[in-house]
Every structure is written in structure tokens, then in C-alpha cells.
Chain A
């Protein structure tokens, strides 16, 4: 499986970058301490070139790499009532939302899109951990339902990239109710006979893991991602002992039979194309460089410039 390894990312990616990345900035790899050029990190999809550590990647940046020609179209998510419980802790919930929107430039903690990967039409969603910890509230629930409905309407597979600390406490019971709601979305896909692939990324925990993120037909994880239900600290307090090395990490879950595969980010697109095309009964993937699909290229989606 190396048909796409030499694939050169089209320059169109740079058109979509949310902010200009100054070339003279460095990031220190939290794992091995190597100083990494921002530009180099971006080319490597936020993976450390030295030790292979997978850093957080925004949904938009991930999709720019994932889709043919970096082209994708956003799927509209039905609006949700802002702050349904008028929740206030030390800060008001709407203030927290506004701060997260400002920080990320996104509406909420998930992005739902459609496009082609290796000439395979798909629906994809990715959670944004930098938006209030990727937490699942009504918007995220609606987004997953919208994605499933769109997948059913267009007969496309649905690929979900999870990243979340869990349910969004500020929406109280309404966030908890996204567990059954998103499960209904998964059932829509099942009944339509469409593949539902989950890619678990760092970190995916709590109510998200305990609902749609564990119900995929195929469960793939990025290396060393934290995946679990309860937090390690809570578990240590409960059982009164230290947890083993690598506990709740991708490789540990794979060992315990909880995942199908652990796959490096650079190989992910390749693998997704392969799996999805087989499940959909499609011909083997087309080799080589794949620019944007024609129709999409004529009406490019440019959300980045609008906000």
C-alpha cells in the first residue's frame, strides 16, 4: 500500500490556511523536545518528524490534507439554542463559547464536510479539541446527525475523527442526551448499509467514547492517543494504585481487543480510501496524484476567508 506515499500535497492547501504561519516560528515537541519549524510541522500534518509524536490538528487542517486537492464543502448544521440552561459557573457559558469561537475561528467543536478522498465521495466530521476540549453539546450532536442524514441521502460512507474530553457540562442533561441522539445517527447509517468509520484521535474520553465514537464498523486510532471512559486520576483514586504504562493509549486498547487498527496520520488517508472502497464494493483506488475533483474545484468552498 504505497500508492499515495509519494503524493505531493497540492499547493492549494496554502490558499486555505486559516492564518499565515510565520516561517520563523518554532514549536517544541512535547514528547522528544526537538524544536520543529511550524512550516515543517504543517507539512507533516502536525506530527513530529523526529519522534512521530502526533500533536493536535484542527479539523480544517486535517481536511485540507485528507481531501483530494484539499477541497471540501461544509455541511450545514441545524442551529441550537445558545445556553439552554443559562448555565453559569465562574464564567457564563455564552462567554466561554465566544472565547472559544474567537480562539478557533469556528462555530463549535466539530466540523462536518463532504468531498472526495482518492476519488471516493465521503462525508467526514472532525472534532476540535481546541474548542472547549472538543466537548459534546447539542451542536456536536446535531452535527453528527446532520452528517449521518447527508450520508444516507447521498449514499456515502461517513468517517468520523473524534477528539473530546466528553460531554459539555454547561449543557447539563442536554449534553448527556447527545449519547442516545448520536447513537440514532449511527443507526441511520447501519440501516442504510453505509460504512461508518471512526478514527479516534488524542484524546477521546467520557460520554463521547461511550457513544458514537465506539460504534464504528471499523475502529482506527492514531498512535498513542488517550482513549477511555473514566479519567486516569479518577481510576487511580478508586482503585488506589498506579496505572500501568501506556494505560488507555491506542496501543494498549489494540492489545485488549478494543480497536481494529492503530495507524499513523500520514498513512490514514490511504488506509481510509482502501477500507471504504472495499466496504462499498468499489474498484481498487486510483494511483497517483489526485487533484481536486472537477465540479468541486469550480465552486470552491472558502470558509476560511469569510470569518
Chain B
């Protein structure tokens, strides 16, 4: 594991000790290190379990942003077949922060749309770090309309720090694009399922996550503002992000209690970044089950239920 988070440092030490020990063992055949190395492995496994058992909100933010965490593209490639990307907003450009197209989930043709952050410097720049511009949201609207026209369920995968704060984005109507995308989510007569796979950053996430069912990975976050942003405004100190993360109630567990999140998808021990395949499989299973449940609903009922879901949000408080 190349990328340890700050709070995983003690784990990194133990794991590197075990590795050193094994390297020594390979160099010197007379040394019997296996027992000691295994003890270290066990220690590391216990520590990992312990660290992730009860992550603080701020730690969850770090896990949600982990560079090794599977991203939108990974889910699309692993879970869907016949993925056929569709591009462009027909007005200005094709925004690479938003990917989407036709695909099959099992046998079912669907429209999959997602926010992709990129995995290395080159792709991160290409994807604009997952921050969509107005044309990205307008592309999403277009794809949702297409799905609606042909009765295909829509699946959105959300992972974004937020909508892009840029000059051109403002000039081309970032707010209007987000508002229309949210509106489109509420209009479509097909099942709309969203999964927050990493970061659900404010309005830029709402635009794609206004769904019949919102699924959220165990350690992903969804918030009105980043903890750093909130801290710098309310605490006048960006370093107070731990306190802000705590106060914002941005974890899947809190959001589930508040009636915002419908399903929490379990992550492998140590987070999705430690076992990407297992994490992706977990999401696939949850998506199929949710799709099956929604397939029974009539088009008008889907619209009505979706609206009602949002109108009712706020009536459920947090458990004490």
C-alpha cells in the first residue's frame, strides 16, 4: 500500500516492519523470521480494524478523498457491460469531469452518469479533479432526457469536491446548469438511483444525486460545504476542519438517520481503497437490488415518490 493517510501512520510502521523483516529473511536463509512477521501482520490487521471501526467525520473525509479509492470510471468498467460513452452538451463543449453513456447492468440497459476525478496528474487535469462546469451538468441533463425518452433507468455515481468555481463556468451559467440538472432529476419518469462513492460536494453533487434512492458508501461523505470551507467561514480558521466535519454531520451514518441516505453500502475493512474489487462488488450488488425494487414502480409513481421523499426530508431528526 503506497498511500497511507495521516491517521494510518502507526499502521504504516508495523506493516513496513513486517516487510523489512521478510526482506531480511529472504537475504539470510538461516534466520527464521516467519513467526515474528506473522505476529506483526496480525498486529497490523487488528490495528486496521480498530482504526476503521469508528472513524471520526474528518477521517472519513480523508478516506473519501483517498487517491486509491475506486473512482467513477472504475465502477463503470467493472460493473457494466457494453458501456457506450455519449459526449457533449450540444452547445459548448464536452466536459470530461462528467462521464456517461448507455450501458448494461446485468441484462438491463441503463444510462450511467458520473463525476470522475481522475487517477494521476494527467487524468486529474483532464477531468478537472471531478469539478464539473455548466456543460457537464447540461450533458447530464441531455443524457437523463434520453434515458427518460426510452424508459431506461438512470444510475449516477457521485464523487466531486464541488462544481467548478471558474470565470467561464460562471459566465456560462453554473448556477442555472445545476438548478436545471436538479430539476431534471426530479422530472424523469424512470428509476433514478445515485451512489455517493467518495465525496458529495454541495450543489455540484445535488445536481446528480436528487434520486429515488440514494446509496452511500460507508466511508463516503456528503455535505453542504467542505469542512475546510466551513471552518474558515464559521471558525475563521481553516485548521478547525475537524470540528467543522464533526458539526456538519456529513457521514453516511448521520445522513441515513436524517432520511437523506437510503442505503449504506459496507466497505471492506480499511476502506474501499484497500480492496477495490470488494468495494465495487458491494456497490454492484446494492445497485441491482435497488433497481429490482424500483422496476416495479409505475412512471408517475416514481416521480411522485421522489418528490415526496424530498418534501419529507427534515421531519426525521438525529437519534440522540
- List the interface of chain A (C-beta within 8 A of B): 80-81, 84-90, 138, 141-142, 145, 167, 169-177, 179-181, 183-184, 186-187, 206-207, 209-215, 228-231, 234-235, 238-239, 241, 243, 247-248, 256-258
Contacts and interface: CB of A to CB of B under 8 A. Distances in A.
25 contacts: A84-B317, A85-B248, A87-B247, A172-B249, A173-B222, A173-B223, A174-B260, A174-B314, A177-B313, A179-B179, A179-B182, A179-B206, A180-B182, A180-B185, A210-B176, A210-B207, A211-B178, A212-B179, A214-B176, A228-B175, A229-B170, A230-B165, A239-B166, A247-B167, A258-B173
A181 B310 CA distance: 6
Nearest to B230: A169
A83 B135 CA distance: 37
A142 B314 CA distance: 10
A231 B165 contact: yes
Contacts of B182: 179-180, 183, 210-211
Pairs A-B, 3 closest by C-beta atoms: A230-B165, A209-B175, A89-B234
Interface residues of B, number: 52
Nearest to A228: B170
Q: Which of B165, B230, B314 has the most CB of A within 10 A?
A: B314
Contact of A206 (B203, B210, B310): B203
B97 interface: no
Interface in B276-320: 307, 310-311, 313-314, 317-318
B165 A234 contact: yes
Contact of A256 (B171, B230, B244): B171
Nearest to B162: A230
B170 A183 contact: no
Interface string B251-279: 00011001010000000000000000000
A285 B63 CA distance: 61
A211 B202 CA distance: 12
B206 A176 contact: yes
A248 to B, nearest CB: 6
Nearest to B176: A214
Q: Which of B163, B164, B203, B260 has the most CB of A within 10 A?
A: B203
A225 to B, nearest CB: 13
B152 interface: no
B47 interface: no
B186 A172 contact: no
Nearest to B207: A210
B249 A85 contact: yes
Interface string B151-180: 000000000000111110111111110111
A230 B163 CA distance: 9
A52 to B, nearest CB: 25
B89 interface: no
Contacts of B174: 210, 228-230
Given A206-B203, A235-B167, A81 B223 contact: no
Nearest to A257: B173
B21 interface: no
A232 to B, nearest CB: 9
Given A169-B233, A176-B224, A184-B307, A229 B186 contact: no
B62 interface: no
A212 B173 CA distance: 14
Contacts of B318: 84-86
Given A230-B166, A238-B165, A258-B173, 14 more contacts: A85-B248, A171-B224, A172-B249, A176-B224, A177-B314, A184-B307, A187-B307, A209-B179, A210-B203, A214-B180, A228-B175, A230-B169, A247-B167, A256-B172
B225 A181 contact: no
A265 B179 CA distance: 26
A174 B206 contact: no
Nearest to B255: A173
Contacts of A247: 167, 170
Contacts of B4: none
A207 B224 contact: yes
Given A183-B186, A187-B186, A138 B250 contact: no
